[in-house]
Structure 1
């Protein structure tokens, strides 16, 4: 999954849960500008930042190792 897909997944889940961007930013402790950049596929979030966001949204982060 690339950064655009990650951002779109976060955005879709947030919208399904009827959470505004500023509310998700506050609940996750992630800056609003950072969240907007991530949702637009323009941010390069750290693992810690992604974890904060997905925890609030009830999502799961899965890593796949390609050989």
Structure 2
């Protein structure tokens, strides 16, 4: 479960470093603001495609560990 929180934290840190709000990231990624919030907090069950969309928007790359 720690990995989920680490991914969310990384996405949140990249979003804030880019000066984007959760709504901005949602709009740019084509996902809902609620989904962005779920990804960043490690709650709910966001689809992998949604996590990948948010990461890609921020220039991050998901990799299996």
TM range (shorter): 0.7 to 0.9
Give the helix-richer structure, 1 or 2. 2
Q: How does the TM-score come out when normalised to structure 1?
A: 0.85
Higher relative contact order (CA 8 A, sep 6+): 1
RMSD after superposition: 1.2
Task: List structure 1 runs of 4+ shifted beyond 3 angstroms.
Answer: none
Aligned length: 64
Which entry has the higher C-alpha Rg, 1 or 2? Answer: 1
The answer for unaligned runs of 5 or more in structure 2 is none
The answer for unaligned runs of 5 or more in structure 1 is none
